[in-house]
Structure 1
Amino acid sequence: MIRFKSFYLISLLILLGINSNAQVSTDLIAVDVKKTGQKIKLIPGTEVKITDRKAYDNQPNFINEKQMAFSAADESGNHDIIIYNFESKKFTNLTKSSNLNEYSPSITDCGMYISAVTVEEDGKQRLWLYPTNFGEPELLYDDIEPVGYYDWYDNKAAMFVLGSPNKLVYPYSKAEIITISQNVGRSIKKKPKSSIITYIDKNEMKEINGENSYAIKGFDLEKRTYHDFGFTYPGAEDFIWIDKNVMLTGKDNKLYSRNFKNNSWAEMGTINQPNYGKISRMAYSPKLLKLVVVMERN
């Protein structure tokens, strides 16, 4: 395992879901869904384990209609970006480097690259671009780090940068890098069909049944205005958008959905998998009508 030279980087790996002393064993599980308007339901009995090993398979993200990228640890504890094809059921290494670790893959707006947070040999953690044609990777922002999470708008990345406190930044240009918010959570998601980047604001919190619920905020990158999107489900800190209106989150082995205009989350189903515990990250394909969830092994 890489020995990181910075307290911040060790802390960031913990945020990424990786214990610095022992790997968290997680698998990717796909389930079909039925979507009618703004209502979404799991289809029981359609659960399929995409990965099944005592290692780190995490951070899924659909990159097109039939492929998904995720971060996976090899036998040496090195993390690479893997592409999974839902048609062929085959896995392909996008990266395979012994001196770098790649996390949080996502397709860029132009569709020519898969971006990833890359831990470099000297411990720097920056955003890199990996061509989909398997060409040479490119460093995107040389002076913004350590980056943990991000999402895309207008071919630029809104980035969670670890610090005291953590902050969310957006580079309108090389000369104008604005701080959107501070003390943010790890879910950084663009609201579909909008110019709004959404995030968890840990400055605003309420306790419900002994568990923390944080405000979900948004910043319109075009209008430069702030928006409120309610609160997280108590005890959950990962969310995604299913469409421009509906959000999804997970707690234990249950999934919950909510129209952002409503105050309450509604249970939409349970992922019943023997020997698996809580759900964390999620990815959704509106074309395949598939939901992929990350679940921890018990």
Structure 2
Amino acid sequence: MRAINIAFHFLLLFFAFSALAQTSTDLISLDAKVKGSKLEISKGTEFKITDRPLYDNQPDFINDKQMAFSAADEKGNYDIIIFNFESKKFTNLTKTGERNEFSPTLTDCGLYVSAVTVEEDGKQRLWLYPTNFGEPELLYDDIEPVGYYDWYDNKAAMFVLGSPNSLVYPYSKSEVVTISNNVGRSIKTKPKSSIITYIDKNMSKEINGEMAYTLKGYDLEKRSHIDFGYTYPGSEDFIWLNKNLLLMGKGNSLFVRKPNESEWHKSGEVSMPGYLNITRMAYSSKLKKLVVVMERD
């Protein structure tokens, strides 16, 4: 039975991460700032943070000058790396041969970088890694396999892999609420709110031959659902630039819209020879930096 369970977890991991892990991706930064309902991108400011034929992905700003991301080494191990925009230097937050870490995000308290960790036996759970490089701690030992997540009120809303994938929130140890089923991989807390946002794949429509899914919110305080319209067709990764503006990418282009609008508006393109297909993104309003993940052509 143990062998079967381990095999099952690895199969879920395959669906969660293999599509990204098999693709060589780099992190590219641009100078960008939000002005009203627009994202202004400074042409010619493209900078390759990483430049290797391996997996560098899932960026997230953790303070005013540093960004965390997941990276593969030549042996196929995945660790959390910290990049400093001032010094342009990299530091390993984790260096574990027996575990793999994905999806780093700063916790609400600011003392940890959390990560989805694939353990030695295949379990896929949320761990906390102290920013002072102390010993990591397991969180939610009974909630797994976790794929993606975001924070609110020092608790994590988690995408749990299954048939279908679900989005859950642990109000307490005894009350783990299922927010929705059949959700997409982007789980984001709307800034300055108690709303967790996600892509609901139960509702979709075809636009110019590509699928657009509904973008939903769930107010964790009011315990009510909110409709934010449809995603950009053919794209499944979004972020909030602020509480009033959403960002998605498709190909080499970036698109924004207000949550109460229906039309997406093109903000610009990322012109970097040898790269295509924007996926993950991260934005720092203080640094005025946008970081995008792109595939090596």
TM-score w.r.t. the length of structure 1 is: 0.96
**Whole-angstrom distance in 2 between the partners of 1:34 and 1:72:** 27
Aligned partner of 2:130 in structure 1 is: 131
Amino acid at match of 2:182: N
Amino acid at match of 1:58: N
**Whole-angstrom distance in 2 between the partners of 1:67 and 1:232:** 29
- Percent identity, aligned pairs only, is 69
What are structure 1's unaligned runs of at least 5 residues?
A: none
Within 5 Å, which residues of 2 pair with 1:1-298?
5-7=6-8, 9-16=10-17, 18-19=18-19, 23-298=22-297
What are structure 2's unaligned runs of at least 5 residues?
A: none
- Residue 19 of structure 1 and its aligned partner are, at CA, apart by 4.0
8 Å Cα contact 2:160/2:168 also seen in 1: yes
**Whole-angstrom distance in 2 between the partners of 1:88 and 1:288:** 14
- Residue 238 of structure 1 and its aligned partner are, at CA, apart by 0.2
- Residue 236 of structure 1 and its aligned partner are, at CA, apart by 0.1
* Per-residue CA distance 1:52-108 (angstroms, 9 max, x = gap): 000000000000000000000011010000000000000000000100000000000
**Whole-angstrom distance in 1 between the partners of 2:257 and 2:115:** 29
**Whole-angstrom distance in 2 between the partners of 1:214 and 1:15:** 19
- Residue 9 of structure 1 and its aligned partner are, at CA, apart by 3.6
* Per-residue CA distance 1:170-225 (angstroms, 9 max, x = gap): 00000000000000000000000000000000000001111110000000000101
8 Å Cα contact 2:33/2:285 also seen in 1: no
8 Å Cα contact 2:12/2:162 also seen in 1: no
Amino acid at match of 1:6: A
**Whole-angstrom distance in 1 between the partners of 2:273 and 2:226:** 40
**Whole-angstrom distance in 2 between the partners of 1:7 and 1:187:** 23
8 Å Cα contact 2:182/2:201 also seen in 1: yes
8 Å Cα contact 1:27/1:58 also seen in 2: yes
**Whole-angstrom distance in 1 between the partners of 2:258 and 2:144:** 34
**Whole-angstrom distance in 1 between the partners of 2:184 and 2:9:** 15
**Whole-angstrom distance in 1 between the partners of 2:36 and 2:222:** 28
8 Å Cα contact 1:9/1:146 also seen in 2: no
Secondary structure at the aligned position of 1:213 is classed as strand
**Whole-angstrom distance in 1 between the partners of 2:87 and 2:27:** 17
Amino acid at match of 1:115: S
* Per-residue CA distance 1:154-185 (angstroms, 9 max, x = gap): 00000000001100000000000000000000
Say how many residue pairs are matched. Answer: 293
8 Å Cα contact 1:67/1:84 also seen in 2: yes
**Whole-angstrom distance in 1 between the partners of 2:23 and 2:14:** 11
Secondary structure at the aligned position of 1:165 is classed as coil
Q: CA RMSD in A?
A: 1.3
- Residue 8 of structure 1 and its aligned partner are, at CA, apart by 5.0
**Whole-angstrom distance in 1 between the partners of 2:251 and 2:6:** 34
8 Å Cα contact 1:8/1:162 also seen in 2: no
**Whole-angstrom distance in 1 between the partners of 2:143 and 2:188:** 19
8 Å Cα contact 1:180/1:219 also seen in 2: yes
